[in-house]
Amino acid sequence: MHRAFRATGGPKGKTMSRRPKVTEKSAAAVLQYHFQKKPKKIRELHGGLVNFVFEAEVEKDRLIVRISEEPAKLQVYLKEQWAVGKAREKGVPTPDILEVSTEAIGMPYMVSRKNVGKAAHLYPNRIDICRQMGRYAAIINSIPTSDFGEVFDWSRNKLSRKKTWTEYLQKELNGSGRIEFFEKEKLISKAAAIKLKAQLVRANRLTNKPSLNHGDIRLKNVLLDEKGQVSVILDWEECTSNLAPWWELSIALHDLGIDEKEALLQGYGISFEEFSAMVPTVKLLNILNYWTAISEAHRAKDKKRLESLALRLSGALDLFSIG
């Protein structure tokens, strides 16, 4: 998925080293501080350039500790905590976040209960899962929010908020700038750029009120119970206040097969006629969201990756519609 792409290599493909500042001792210090008991069986699960994830036990509780060296990550954790709480109130199965703070170690961290279930992308009956995902997406999108973008009701900040959809498209997404960059780097044709800019103008006219969007409802972020029912929807890091269902669907439908796409729309409650009217804007948002992957590949001078992304943007991989 384009929004999840992360550059992993430095110059000439050398692996970027990670500072060993965050260790299992860091996670132990967090749990000792909050539970006043020594944790056991601490192990690092995975990590990236800004997130370190550990699993541990405190008595009978199995816990997950996420730690970041980036101070700004605290705001992301707080946003997740707010969104998860609102969604849970509506009956959406979400992670149980116990604490977000910097108090114990001076770095942002999140403590939550370990989620139990089978990864949905490994499950054979994806059609039914996609229907469930659609139903939950509709519930999440029914939660009203204020303003547009990453900074909304969860934050007390005022100056960084985008009050209107148009302001969000122009300033936070930089729609015109991204399209011009794609054309300049020959990732899209001049004719395609003209078409996208015209659609951007039409998208500006949408006047729907914002609502909560998970921003990454995909099979990899869903766990199932023994009966194949969704037990938890994970990874709320990309949650946003945005137009629904346009924004939500631009991400959720991205890497599904045709039958799975139809199932998700059915679960959401959108008719195919209604969705047909949404398609131009959904496609526009999908293309604009390739910015992260494209800009990182461009900085890394990853020619092969850029060629792959250009192939996607060209529409050549769409084999099921009359262009």
Count of residues making up the chain: 323
Domains, the chain, with CATH or none: 22-113 (3.30.200.20), 118-314 (3.90.1200.10)
Taking a C-beta distance cutoff of 8 angstroms, is the pair 213, 140 a contact? yes
DSSP per residue over 295-310, as a string? HHHHHTT-HHHHHHHH
Q: Strand, coil or helix: what is 236?
A: coil
Crossing angle of helices 272-288/175-184, nearest 10°? Answer: 70
Place of tokens 């346009």: 246
CA distance 29 to 36: 10
Residue 181's pLDDT is 95
Q: Strand, coil or helix: what is 82?
A: helix
Residue 66's pLDDT is 96
Residue 266's pLDDT is 97
CA distance 116 to 74: 25
CB-count burial class (<10 Å; 0-12, 13-18, 19+) for 319: exposed
The number of beta carbons lying within 10 Å of the beta carbon of residue 100 is 20
Count the alpha carbons within 13 Å of 180 in the hemisphere toward its beta carbon.
Answer: 6
CA distance 233 to 218: 9
CA distance 17 to 29: 24
* 62-89 CB burial, b ≥16 within 10 A, e <16: ebbbbbbbeeebbbbbbbbbbbbebbee
Positions of the chain with pLDDT lower than 50, given as ranges: 1-18
Q: Strand, coil or helix: what is 52?
A: strand
| Mean predicted lDDT score pLDDT of the chain | 91
CA distance 28 to 42: 7
Residue 323's pLDDT is 63
Closest CA relative to residue 242, chosen from 136, 130, 156, 167: 167
Q: Which helix (H) or strand (E) holds 66?
A: strand 61-67
Please indicate, yes or no, whether the overall pTM of this predicted structure exceeds 0.75. Answer: yes
pLDDT 10s digits, 33-92? 999 999 998 999 976 667 899 999 999 899 999 999 999 999 999 999 999 999 999 999
Residue 1's pLDDT is 44
Q: Strand, coil or helix: what is 261?
A: helix
Helix extents (H) in the chain:
24-35, 73-89, 126-141, 165-167, 175-184, 190-204, 246-252, 258-268, 272-288, 291-299, 303-314
- Alpha carbon 191 to chain centroid distance? 30
Residue 317's pLDDT is 87
Residue 21's pLDDT is 83
